[in-house]
Amino acid sequence: MERLSKEEDVIATVGDYKIKVFSADKLADVMRINKTCLPENYPSSFFIYLHQNFPKAFLIAEKDGEVVGYIMCRVEYGLSNMGIKLTRKGHVVSIAVMPGHRRKGIATALLRAAEKALKEYGAKEMMLEVRVSNTPAISLYKKLGYKEVKVLKRYYSDGEDAYLMAKELEEDDDEK
Ligand code: COA
């Protein structure tokens, strides 16, 4: 059955775009955007796994009912990327915005909303991997306070290196 969207589903707005929590009826749209925008693609079961386990941190951007972007994340427990301690880390698994909708602040809104959700899951810091050649994404992350922590040699299947980028989640940074 089609799931009708309600106004209360809207987490944030960016112009005419609405940031909402992903629902399974948008799976095909999100997988299409993932395939269009990124070489790292996943089986549908992986998207559903993240949605079922971290639903508040799997978000979409919509305009007039059309999905134009998404972010999906998970929470991991392990060694901090910011210091020597065990901590809960919010991990951005994938983020993408369709080419015709970029540079309008959509990824910024998705990432900020995901950070807030991950804090609700107990995350104390954020982490992500990004291709060293991906200047747009690196610029986005730096603008939001992420720092390059280390280079992960040959992280991607085509041999490209990744930057591991991380930032601390402050208690009071929701509205920044
Ligand atoms: N060149 C330089 N800086 C860029 C940029 C570009 N092409 N795109 C974004 N930025 C930086 C800018 O600082 C920008 O702020 P500004 O527009 O005020 O200058 C800031 O990021 C925020 O941009 P925003 O509009 O929120 O990002 P977006 O909605 O265009 O989405 C990506 C950014 C990276 C998600 C999008 O380009 C994309 O989907 N790329 C392909 C998928 C991908 O690489 N995902 C990341 C994998 S780690």
C-alpha of residue 37 to centroid of ligand 1, in Å? 12
Instruction: Express each pLDDT in 110-166 by its tens digit.
Output: 999 999 999 999 999 999 999 999 999 999 999 999 999 999 999 999 999 999 999
Do 64 and 17 touch, CB atoms closer than 8 A? no
pLDDT single digits (tens) 1-15: 344 445 558 999 999
E strand map for the chain: 10-14, 17-21, 58-63, 66-79, 86-97, 125-131, 147-152, 162-168
| CB 134 less than 6 A from any atom of ligand 1 | yes
136 three-class SS: helix
Q: Are 100 and 107 in contact (CB under 8 A)?
A: no
Domains of the chain, CATH where assigned: 7-168 (3.40.630.30)
**Structure pTM?**
0.94
Please identify, by atom number, the ligand 1 atom nearest to the C-alpha of residue 106: 29
Helix axes 106-120, 135-143, angle to 10 degrees: 60
Cα 77 to Cα 90: distance, rounded to the nearest angstrom: 9
